[in-house]
Amino acid sequence: MTNEKLLVSVALNAWNTNIARAEKTFSGLTQEQLQKEVAPGKNRLIYVWGHLAAVHDGMLPLLDFGPRLHPELDASFLTNPDKTTPNLPTAEEVRKAWNNVNRKLSQGFANLQPEQWLHKHTAVSDEDFAKEPWRNRFAILLSRTTHVAYHLGQAALVPK
Amino acid sequence: MTNEKLLVSVALNAWNTNIARAEKTFSGLTQEQLQKEVAPGKNRLIYVWGHLAAVHDGMLPLLDFGPRLHPELDASFLTNPDKTTPNLPTAEEVRKAWNNVNRKLSQGFANLQPEQWLHKHTAVSDEDFAKEPWRNRFAILLSRTTHVAYHLGQAALVPK
C-alpha cells in the first residue's frame, strides 16, 4: 500500500468509527427517547441526528458525488434551530435519510483514488484553490468527522 | 508539495483548528467559571480542560516525542471521575500544563517527515503493527483531534 493510500485509509477509519458510534447512539432509540434534550433547553436528540444527516447529505455535492438526496432535511435540522419548525420528520424518516446518505458517501469514498482526495471540493473556486490547496476533499472528510464527534459528545450527556 | 505532505498538512490544520477552539473556550475563563458543569451532574469545565491536557500529555510518549511533562494530571483528570479527588490543580496550573504540552506536541509535529507519520505508535508491538499498519502516528493525531471536538461539543452547552 502506498503512503498516500495508507494516510487516506486511516482517515476513512476515523470517519467509519464515528459513524458507527452515531449509529449506536441514535438508531436504536424510539421516537419518544429521541425527544430528550442533550442538556436542559438545548437540542433534542432527534434534532442532532437529523442535523448530522443533513450535513452529511450536503457532503455529496461538495465532494462531487452527485446531487443531494435529502434537501428536505435542511428546514427542520439545519437552517432553523430546534423547536422552531412544526412537523419535524419522524425518527423513521431520519433513520432512512441517515442510512441513504451515509451509504452513498461510502460508495463515493470507495471510488476515489488517493490523489483524488486532494482535488478541490466544489465550494472553492479554481482561483482560490490555486492559492489554498488544502481546501480539498480530504479537508471535508476530516472536518465532518470532527463535526460528528462534537455532537456525539453532546448526545453522550443524555442519561440512558 | 507532495501528496503525502499535503494530506498530513490538512490533518495538522484540523488539529490546530480544534486546539484553537479549545483555547478560546477555556483559557479566558476564571477559576469560578471553570466550576460550571457541562450539564447538570456532569463534568465541570475545569475537569474537561484538565482531561484534554492529560490526554495530550499522553501523546508525547505515544508519538515518541519524549517523556510526559505532566503525569500528575492523571489522578485528577483521567483515572478518576470529576468531583472524586481533593485538591484539583488550579486553573492556572491547568493552563500552564495545557500550554506546555501543546507547544511540545507542535514541535514534535514540525520535526516529522510525512512518511514518519506512518511509523507505528509506541503502544503497538512490531508484530501487531506488521498486520495492522494503520496503528500509526497519523491515527493518533486524528483520534485525538476528534477527542478534542467531542469535549468541545459538551463545553459549548455551558451558557456564556
Coil, helix or strand for B44?
strand
Q: Which of B155, B119, B110, B111 is nearest to B140 (CA)?
A: B119
B8, three cell numbers: 498530513
Quick one: what percent of chain A has pLDDT higher than 90?
A: 98
Q: Where are the beta strands (DSSP E) in chain B?
A: none
**CA B67 to each of CA A34, A135, A159, B57, B58: distance values in angstroms, whole numbers, following the listed order:** 44, 35, 38, 9, 9
B75 vs chain A: nearest CA distance in angstroms?
22
Whether the CB of A13 is below 8 Å from some CB of chain B: the reply is yes
Q: What are phi and psi of A37, to 5 degrees?
A: -90, 150
Confidence check: pLDDT of A14 > 90 = yes
Q: Identify the band that residue A1 occupies on the pLDDT scale cut at 50, 70 and 90.
A: confident
Spell A103-133 as b/e; 16+ CB within 10 A means b.
Answer: ebbeebbeebebeebbbbbeebeeeeeeeeb
Coil, helix or strand for B76?
helix
pLDDT average, residue stretch A111-125: 96
Looking up cell 469535549, which residue turns up? B151
The minimal CB distance from B3 to the residues A4, A9, A18 is found for A4
Q: Identify the band that residue A160 occupies on the pLDDT scale cut at 50, 70 and 90.
A: confident
Tell if the CB–CB gap between A14 and B134 is shorter than 8 Å. no
As a whole number of Å, the CA-based R_g of chain A is 17
pLDDT of residue B160: 79
Whether the CB of A146 is below 8 Å from some CB of chain B: the reply is yes
Model pTM greater than 0.90?
yes
Q: Identify the band that residue B1 occupies on the pLDDT scale cut at 50, 70 and 90.
A: confident
pLDDT average, residue stretch A8-20: 98
pLDDT average, residue stretch A18-31: 96
Q: What are phi and psi of A3, to 5 degrees?
A: -60, -45
Contacts of B115 in chain A (CB under 8 A): 3
pLDDT digits 0-9 by tens, A60-87: 999 999 999 999 999 999 999 999 999 9
Q: What are phi and psi of A42, to 5 degrees?
A: -100, -175
**Domain boundaries of chain A, sorted by first residue:** 3-155
Whether the CB of A80 is below 8 Å from some CB of chain B: the reply is no
Confidence check: pLDDT of B62 > 90 = yes
- Please say whether the beta carbons of A143 and A11 come within 8 A: no
Q: Identify the band that residue A128 occupies on the pLDDT scale cut at 50, 70 and 90.
A: very high
DSSP notation for A36-102: -BSSTTS-BHHHHHHHHHHHHHHHHHHTTS-S-S-TTHHHHHTSS-TTSSSSPPPHHHHHHHHHHHH
Distance CA B115, CA B117 (A): 5
Domain A3-155: give its CATH code: 1.20.120.450
What is the CB neighbour count within 10 angstroms for residue B96?
A: 14
CA angle A68, A152, A94 (to 5 degrees): 40
Whether the CB of A87 is below 8 Å from some CB of chain B: the reply is no
pLDDT of residue A159: 87
Whether the CB of A157 is below 8 Å from some CB of chain B: the reply is yes
pLDDT average, residue stretch B21-27: 97
Q: Identify the band that residue A133 occupies on the pLDDT scale cut at 50, 70 and 90.
A: very high
The residues, any chain, with a CB within 8 Å of residue B34's CB and separated by 6 or more, are B26, B44, B45, B46, B49, B91
